[in-house]
Amino acid sequence: MPDPTVLIATALITLIIMTVIWFVSLKLSDVSIVDVYWGPGFGVIALTALWLSPGASAGDQLIAALTLLWGMRLGIYLFLRWRSHTGEDARYRAMRRASKGDFAYRSYITVFLLQSAIMWFVSLPLQFAAMTADDADWLALPLAGIALFAIGLSFESIADWQLSRFKRDPANKGRVMDRGLWAWTRHPNYFGDVCVWWGLWLLCLAGGAPLVTIASPLAMTYLLVRVSGAWLLERGLKRTKPDYAAYIARTSGFVPWPPKRRAT
């Protein structure tokens, strides 16, 4: 049976850390810093659940290690990106303008508390796997999970590196990134993220997490495709980059696929 102590502890730790980051954001007048903790936050939850579950197995340790690996890579990347940018992210600037003077408390509820809840919910398979002592006796599911995780992490890491390199070149200012993995899908980083979470879920399922926890990777997929990820990003790029419509016409929206030939 799941240990409610673990679930309560991970929720409280997430809430406390996010509240501290909120105070920091008020000091900096920059909510963008919350994004830096998104990846590492899952690692903290996985490690907390592992620490509070004395019966955790080697498989559970692997799940926590992979989660921390993914989270720290993403956190370092977003931290470096945050350091290199001047000013708050456009999403949060728009929220600040619409807040009519009460942005501090509104940001705590709509950004920090909301992200805390999403982080805790999406990490439920990690927590349930840590609380369950039994691992699968067969290797197909864990191997599939590791393979999918590796594909996702590779896609995400390479895509972020390619995009950073592209943006560092002044000649590319205002242009659409359509090279490398970005020629095969308009969102290789988000596609990689989705693969990571489905891979982790397969590992958690093999580690004893109940089937119902499929709601977590489903929720992450929906968020990345239809809410805060691809859809939100494209809505802005369509307005700011005239060449983006042509990029959409020749490039897969999410799942990698050979690009269509450019019109001549």
In a 3-state reduction of DSSP, which class is residue 214?
helix
Element (H, E) at 74: helix 58-84
If one counts every other C-beta atom within 10 angstroms of the C-beta of residue 72, the result is 13
End-to-end C-alpha distance for the chain, whole angstroms: 63
Residue 223 CB coordination number (10 Å): 19
The residue-averaged pLDDT of 99-125 equals 93
Q: According to the per-residue pLDDT averaged within each range, which of 44-58, 87-101, 122-136 is highest?
A: 44-58
User: Going by C-beta distance under 8 Å and a sequence separation of 6 or more, which residues neighbour residue 37?
Assistant: 17, 18, 21, 75
Angle between helices 215-222 and 124-131 (to 10 degrees): 160
- The predicted-structure confidence for 4-25, as pLDDT tens digits, reads as follows 899 999 999 999 999 999 999 9
Which of 222, 212, 216 lies closest to 197, judged by CA?
Answer: 216
Q: Which residues contact 170 (CB under 8 A, 6 or more apart)?
A: none
Contacts of 117 (CB under 8 A, 6+ apart): none
For range 109-128, the mean pLDDT: 96
Residue 230 near residue 190 (C-beta atoms within 8 A): yes
User: With DSSP H G I counted as helix, E B as strand and the rest as coil, what are the percentages for the chain, rounded to 5?
Assistant: 75, 0, 25
Break the chain into its structural domains and give their ranges. 1-133, 136-264
- Residue 206, both tokens: 């093999």
pLDDT digits (tens, 9 = 90+) for 194-234: 999 999 999 999 988 999 999 999 999 999 988 877 777 88
pLDDT average, residue stretch 93-109: 87
Grouping H, G, I as helix, E, B as strand and the rest as coil, residue 71 is helix
Instruction: Pick the closest to residue 93 from 30, 174, 18 (CA basis).
Output: 30
For residue 217, give Cα distances in angstroms to 55, 165, 179, 204: 25, 30, 28, 11
3-state class (DSSP) for residue 132: coil
- State residue 136's pLDDT score: 63
Cα–Cα dist 159/181, whole Å: 6
Token match 């931290």: residue?
Answer: 79
Cβ-contact 78, 46 below 8 angstroms: no
Question: What's the predicted TM-score (pTM) here?
Answer: 0.92
The whole-angstrom separation of Cα 192 and Cα 148 is 9
Segment 62-80 mean pLDDT: 96
